[in-house]
Chains A and B, each alone.
Chain A
Amino acid sequence: MAFEGLAERLQGSIQKIRGKGKVNEADVKEMMREVRLALLEADVNFKVVKSFVKQVSERAVGQEVMTSLTPGQQVIKVVKEELTELMGGEQSQIAVGKKPPTVIMMVGLQGAGKTTTAGKLAGLLRKKHNRKPLLVAADIYRPAAINQLETIGKQLSLPVFSMGDQVSPVEIAKAGIEKAKEEHHDYVLIDTAGRLHVDEELMDELKQIKELSSPDEIFLVVDSMTGQDAVTVAQNFDDALGVTGVVLTKLDGDTRGGAALSIRSVTGKPIKFVGMGEKMDALEPFHPERMASRILGMGDMLSLIEKAQTNVDEDKAKEMEKKLRTASFTLDDFLEQLGQVKQMGPLDELLKMIPGANKMKGLDNIDMDGKQLSHVEAIIQSMTVKEKEQPEIINASRRKRIARGSGRPIQEINRLLKQFEEMKKMMKQMTNAQGKGKKRGGMNFPFMQ
């Protein structure tokens, strides 16, 4: 999961200063060197890192820290505040044009994921906002790009406007908007060809499309794995077109995602959406404050709850919540939840949203892809009612029987039982932590005590 590595490194460098009763300039300098390296290693642009480090250092050796009774804590608080600042403020909404249709232009480098994102965004507009979007295929350069958008349109049952690859993109955009007006679409998404930010000819073409279609939003689509160059790219596109927002793609990879921090801080343009997977519904609104706390390892319960709300029906969710809270969770419940959890997305990503989960032992090696889930289902279904309620009674001969019944090796059954035990333990820990309150440190929260 993106940002995980960055969070780990930051937490590591901060650990050293946490309990200090006295903080001198050398301590701060030492810590800031590590913070700096952590950010650089995460592909945060070096200029951004520099100003961040400067900002924190100044505040950290200033009055507010030195006069504090717990200076170690104070320094950490400063880091947290500055990092949250870097991530940007409130979540920003997608614009609505004064007169329909609202026009959105997708721009970016080759291979950033514009076409896929255009499709996902159109799907989101219809599903969440009840809109009637029209996709316009204006990428005439890449072979089969139009075909790709048309296929995506078919998958989502959304209309796609195209004129083949022999008409200029400017014409296509114009005709597309006309068509949207005629057919009363309230959103038009123009998928443009990927281009280099230094390709003047093609950048001019984008300017023409912009002039002609006066878009309400120009989304710059950026690959979250982009390195230091992200800033140059974003700046050039912004200078040429006046970008209104950024969509960060492929964030379901294991990139440390520093590009997100850099683009926000250098261009001042908000990140509006993040691409979280290859499925057509894997596009999420970006919540800067939540992302900041995720980077800091403080979890993101809000997103988890929202995910549960959209994917799990309410009665069942309540039941699940109760079970989670009382930790009276049997393998049967586990099986039932599996189906729902599957709908919510990969388990490891859900776990990342739980505060402190990244610090818990055992959780890091729970790895469940789709096939493994069905294996787990088969194993549980091969158990007797009693076994499901009291897994501790499962002895060697029962294990053998379950293995035969499910067609899975015994080791897998052992592993499942162990993982289930770990999950139960985790839930207990969670409920305990809630009871005790964060302040007492029931769990290992970075930045908090």
Chain B
Amino acid sequence: MSFFKKLKEKFTTQDTATDKYKDGLSKTRNSFTSRLNDLVANYRTVDEDFFEELEEIMIQADVGFDTVMTLVEELKMEVKRQNIKDTEGIRSVISQKLVEIYYNGEEPDELLNFKENDLTVILFVGVNGVGKTTTIGKLAHQFKNEGKKVVLAAGDTFRAGAIEQLEVWGNRVGVDVIKHSEGSDPAAVMYDAVHSAKAKKADVLICDTAGRLQNKVNLMKELEKVKRVIEREIPDAPHEVLLALDATTGQNAMTQAKIFKEATNVTGIVLTKLDGTAKGGIVLAIKKELGIPVKFVGLGEKMDDLQPFNAEKYVYGLFSDLVDKEELIDDEEERE
């Protein structure tokens, strides 16, 4: 049985989440897989030109330069080992390697770290305009539906209208928002929010922060302080530090992940705006190089368009065209 068939078997009971993945990723998938298929069709034999083209396809998916290089090197080895001559044979190896790179031999940590019967604090960080506030709104909605008591902290005191934006989400979802005035110290907001959430016996406190470019030293220090204040009030908090990452971002995402990790010890990534044509392939590289797993993906603008990340589903979404084809070939073989 092929690798794809195994993957497919995991999804024989196709739930709505998988459908959403397929819908959200359809644009992503189409361009990526059709190009991969074109590549296979255009080249009969596996040679240097083939690999060069493959490199470019991967790079176009923003997979990340070093990862692409590693992948291509490994593929070349595999081709020699298995003595693959034609391009048909290499197709399954390509996707298999991608999944391997993501998992990197370890059990992925895709679930949120929740504290039982106590306050769980989730801190959101990221550069400007990646969708932190929107993601928080969606996440709050999800937690509320699970019957959790949620409090939001309006820690973006810098951008005009940011506090109001979170308040609108708070009203929509029906959860409390702790805020100070615009321009106030975000660390002070966090202090109040932690105490308020404790007093309210909330289950989850989700903290918004202002977007900041990772090369702004003083702003990153401010963020460290925000985290420190939370830590001081609850020693093992924040239980999750989530980096919001725009799927359209290119290689800079690696630097973002690296520097935000240094400053706030990021525990997971929320990959937003994956419903466009961007591929977000850089998450493979980030997982491989920094060990930060993706925990959620944003697949649309509606309240329930936030899905827990599942590497297999993600890859399945990316490659489901290929999966179908592979299966077809397998079925034919079986019939013969």
Contact = CB atoms under 8 A, between A and B. Distances in A.
A37 interface: yes
A42 interface: yes
Given A111-B130, A143-B168, A198-B276, A227 B248 contact: yes
Given A43-B250, A253-B252, A229 B164 contact: no
Contacts, number: 147
A148 B159 contact: yes
B40 interface: no
Contacts of A151: 160-161, 182
A225 B250 contact: yes
A99 interface: no
Contacts of A229: 62, 248, 276-279
Interface stretch (A173-181, A254-262, A296-304, A314-322): A254-262
Contacts of A50: 56
B276 A41 contact: no
Contacts of B82: none
Contacts of A256: 251-252
B39 to A, nearest CB: 13
B218 A369 contact: yes
A278 B127 CA distance: 12
A149 B134 CA distance: 18
Given A152-B160, A253-B127, A227 B213 contact: no
Given A148-B161, A151-B160, A227 B251 contact: yes
Contacts of B89: none
B158 interface: yes
A329 interface: no
B169 A155 contact: no
B174 interface: no
B213 A252 contact: yes
Interface in B39-74: 56, 59-62, 65
Interface residues of B, number: 49
Contact of A258 (B127, B167, B250): B250
Contact of B215 (A40, A115, A254): A254
Interface in B6-24: none
Interface string A341-365: 0000000000000000000000000
A196 B276 contact: yes
A223 B248 contact: yes
A132 interface: no
B131 A42 contact: no
B199 interface: no
Given A148-B161, A152-B160, A250 B182 contact: no
Contact of A147 (B134, B158, B161, B278): B161
Interface in B119-157: 127-131, 134, 137
B56 A46 contact: yes
B34 interface: no
A408 interface: no
A233 B247 CA distance: 13
B1 interface: no
A112 B129 contact: yes
B213 A144 contact: no
B206 to A, nearest CB: 16
A255 to B, nearest CB: 4
A151 B164 CA distance: 11
Contacts of A232: 31, 277
Contacts of B161: 115, 144-145, 147-151
Interface in A237-290: 250, 252-256, 258-259, 278
Contacts of A215: none
B248 A148 contact: no
A37 B69 CA distance: 11
Nearest to A258: B250
Contacts of A233: 248, 276-277
Interface centre among B27, B127, B215, B250 (most CB of A within 10 A): B250
A226 to B, nearest CB: 5
Contacts of B248: 109, 223, 226-227, 229-230, 233
Given A41-B251, A254-B252, A147 B213 contact: no
Contact of B246 (A111, A155, A196, A369): A111
A152 B158 CA distance: 12
A367 B169 contact: no
Contacts of A259: 250
Contacts of A228: 59-62, 250, 279
B295 interface: no
Contacts of A198: 27, 276-277
Interface string A20-40: 000000000000000001001
A399 interface: no
A144 B172 CA distance: 13
Nearest to A40: B59
B278 A227 contact: yes
B165 interface: yes
Given A40-B59, A151-B182, A228-B61, A250 B213 contact: yes
30 contacts: A1-B215, A40-B56, A43-B251, A50-B56, A111-B129, A111-B131, A111-B246, A112-B129, A113-B128, A113-B129, A115-B161, A143-B172, A148-B164, A150-B161, A151-B160, A155-B160, A198-B276, A225-B127, A226-B248, A227-B248, A227-B249, A229-B276, A229-B278, A229-B279, A253-B214, A254-B215, A254-B255, A256-B251, A259-B250, A278-B158
* Those 5 A-B pairs whose CB atoms lie nearest each other, nearest first: A227-B250, A148-B161, A111-B129, A143-B168, A151-B160
